Amino acid sequence: MDFEPWWLISVPVLFALGWIAARVDIRQMLSETRNLPDSYFKGLNFILNEEPDRAIDAFVEVAKLDPETTELHFALGNLFRRRGEMERAIRVHQSLLARADLPQEEREHAQHELGQDFLKAGMLDRAEQAFQQVLDTRFAVPAVRALIRIYESEHDWPRAIEAVKRLRALVDEPVPQLVHYQCEQAQAALSAKPPDLVAANAALDAADNAAHALRGQARGHASEARIAMLRAAVARHDNNRERERVYLESVLGTAPEYAGLVAEPLLESYRSMGQANQGLQVLTRHYMRYPALDTFNVIFRELRAQNGYAPAWEFARDALRAHPTLLGLDRLLEVELASGNTPPGPNMAPDADLGLLRSLIHKHTQRLDRYACGVCGFEARHFYWQCPGCNSWETYQPRRIEELA
């Protein structure tokens, strides 16, 4: 390979250019560092020393001295919100929005953060206004999700449904709670004075369509059970007991775990048609396949009413042997004590002893006689489709705590 003399010249030239560039970068860094307020370095030092409160105060001072630091404002606002200092978070984001020179993207960001502040502070009307202002921006999806939460908490089901439709237009994903929004509308129509059966049926038709769109996914039977129960309620208001029975009985097949919620109205439907014994047989057969405490209670009481205490106690003994529960024993003792009769048999305890036994058992069963949310653990004596604690849908199992242990 031939030697080129110009190589000897290019090497020192390149070296000199690199040295000059490095000097310029160092000078620029030193200049920028000198321009930073002392509070900035104090804040960093407090963070390193694990003193977050003093670090926040230092960074607040930086934000006051240099209003151009928008990223620091956003960081401080989010930090205040996480710490529950909602007034300070709101003030930080409002100060950003008050700047006339704030770029449009940063303004949209500040508006969305302000909506989050209002939402966490419980100022739902102001949160709604803030989120509506960013519906046509890059924050549209989280804003619509937040609006759905707001309308849920306000039980404004028509607006919640509209918000879900808007979300479905933005992202291709299922929204399972839509079924329950429609069911809530149907429930409201049935609770009106007088009941609006036309509106209830229309809402349930929409719920059926929403549930159909969810089929094939890994979900439970809660929505199907609820729709059938509401259809039965509509039929009952319409004095169509046969149709009511059909809907309630369908729950036993499509959602057998929810039998305890429909056992009493199903038996009442049979009873209204003069077929109480047939209804009792249907529930008993179902209980043998899917034993549940609430179904046990209904069967025991109906056996006691139809056939007397001997068959009822025989059923109770067999059921409690197969599936022993303190709650089951507590319930049957309650029925017997209320009836004023003691169970058959020469070795059975008198009423006074049964009362003492029941009072002892009842103290232990009170904490077990509840439903529990599978997400937050919130316990309640009544079954809820939406948890009152965490607002999650379909998180309550239709079984008492003792049965889930």
**Which residues are bridge partners to 386 per DSSP?**
393
Name the residue among 150, 234, 159, 244 with its Cα closest to residue 189: 234
Name the residue among 228, 300, 208, 311 with its Cα closest to residue 269: 228
CA distance 355 to 320: 19
Tokens of 172: 């291709």
Q: 47 in helix, strand or coil?
A: helix
Q: 386 in helix, strand or coil?
A: strand
Nearest-5° Cα angle at 225, 252 to 146: 160
Widest CA span in the chain: 123
- Classify strands 379-380 and 371-372 as parallel, antiparallel or unpaired: antiparallel
Tokens of 42: 């104090």
200, burial (CB in 10 Å: exposed 0-12, middle 13-18, buried 19+): buried
183 is in an annotated binding site: no
Q: 66 in helix, strand or coil?
A: coil
Nearest-5° Cα angle at 136, 134 to 141: 75
390 is in an annotated binding site: yes
CA distance 323 to 250: 25
- Using CA atoms, how far residue 66 sits from 96, 301, 304, 310, in Å, is 12, 75, 80, 86
376 is in an annotated binding site: yes
Residues 6+ apart with CB under 8 A from 105: 138
- Pseudo-torsion of CA 269, 384, 358, 282, nearest 10°? 30
Nearest-5° Cα angle at 278, 277 to 279: 90
Residues tagged in the binding site annotation: 373, 376, 387, 390
Please state the residue numbers annotated as binding site for Fe cation.
Answer: 373, 376, 387, 390
